[in-house]
Amino acid sequence: MNALTEFAVSPVLDVHALQLGIGGKDAQRKLVRDVSFTLRRGRTLALVGESGSGKTLTALSILRLLPDPPVRILDGHIRFGDTDLAHVTAAGLRQIRGSGVAMIFQEPQSALNPVMSIGRQLREAVLAHEKLDRKALDARVHELLELVRLPDPARIVHEFPHRLSGGMRQRVLIAIAMAGRPRVLIADEPTTALDVTVQREILDMLAGLQERFGVAILLITHDLGLVSDYADEVAVMYAGRIVERGPAQGVLAGPLHPYTRGLLGARPGLVRHGDGKPPRLAEISGSVPANLDSIAGCPFSPRCPLAGEQCRLRAPELLVAADGHFVSCFKQGLNA
């Protein structure tokens, strides 16, 4: 996609220079640094990273779902319309949760109330956003269940969560999320707990909802494979920072950051082999550092095959490298 036409698609949510930290003044540690991205109407941005990269923290901070204390927004803006979610009051936040920005989680089991019927949980969600009489309410619940392609809505409303499969529970959660007609949907690893064939159905269904209602989706995932199939844009996070961001196809076809390149090279199953020894996979040596503040320079430098003196002294900024493609690396695009 051309970056110029992409800018024309109206921005819905703008995260700018977000910083998250944990702990008091004396022992403060930064968890997320300088994260910026824009969600656009009808488009999907994938936020990709491994455990500890800060992708889920970033997502949770948008709806201020992080417990404060200990986790605090230290700096930055989260603009949604005229509101800055980073500084909004509790009442203002309630207005936006669900009807402006909605969220679905990884574990549908723990996000549903086990002792409440599906119908009651859906009615509650609808009533949080609009006043309807019983008949209109039931019709709306029915409509939501059909929206997420749950078979036999008349029966499902009487069921309890434990009677449904994981895939059906995730559909119920998506129906609840759609109840407020949100403009932004944050999906935090929505299919990680599900089987691949079910994952496919759920993501295809979400893509259908996006097409129909123009909702902007922030897809949090550790699975790069999903990016090319479902995202328009991708932001790769490592150690609390976005290290590369750009059009999904462009980043996957021409990754510039050594971490992104490493991740793409580490994926198995790309080379066919039959008999004999399987080919070696490219490795990223080491693991994510536990204490990020201990690293002065680029956070990836201890694991980076290209790291030089400069990389260990200071952290590179996220700079534009090509049309809409940003990378934070002094040695971008070089080969090891």
Partner 1 sequence: MSANLLEIDNISVVHHKNGQTFKAVDGVSLHLAPGETLGLIGESGCGKSTLARTIMGLYRAASGRILFDGADISGAKWRRRSRAVTRRLQMIFQDPQQSLNPRTPVGRIVEEPLLVHGVGGRDERRARARRLLERVGLGADAGERLPHEFSGGQRQRIGIARALALTPDLVICDEPVSALDLSVQAQVLNLLVDLQDELKLSYLFISHDLAVVRHMASRVVVMYLGRIVESGPVALLWDGARHPYTKALIAAAPSGTPGLPRREKRALLGDIPSPVDRPKGCAFHTRCPLKQKICTESDPALRSAGEGHAVACHFA
Which residues of this protein are in contact with partner 1, per CB under 8 A?
50-51, 151, 165-168, 195-201, 204, 222-230, 248-250, 252-253, 262-263, 266-285, 287-288
Contacts 24+ apart (CB under 8 A), 87-95: 88/64, 93/63, 93/64
| Between 78 and 118, CB nearer to partner 1 | 118
| Between 262 and 297, CB nearer to partner 1 | 262
> Least distance from C-beta 147 to partner 1, angstroms?
16
Laid out side by side, the sheet with 83-84 consists of 29-40, 11-22, 71-80, 83-84
Sign of CA dihedral 91, 96, 99, 102: negative
> Least distance from C-beta 267 to partner 1, angstroms?
6
Q: What is the DSSP letter of 97?
A: B
Report CA Rg, the chain: 21
> Least distance from C-beta 223 to partner 1, angstroms?
6
> Least distance from C-beta 279 to partner 1, angstroms?
8
Query: Angle 166-178/196-213 helices, nearest 10 degrees?
Result: 10
| Between 63 and 227, CB nearer to partner 1 | 227
| Between 85 and 209, CB nearer to partner 1 | 209
> Least distance from C-beta 291 to partner 1, angstroms?
13
| Between 164 and 179, CB nearer to partner 1 | 164
66 touches 59 (CB < 8 A): no
46 touches 219 (CB < 8 A): yes
| Between 155 and 181, CB nearer to partner 1 | 155
Q: Compute the C-alpha angle 69/219/54, nearest 5°.
A: 35
> Least distance from C-beta 191 to partner 1, angstroms?
10
Q: Which residues of 149-172 are buried (b: 16+ CB within 10 A; e: fewer)?
A: ebeebeebbebebeebebbbbbbb
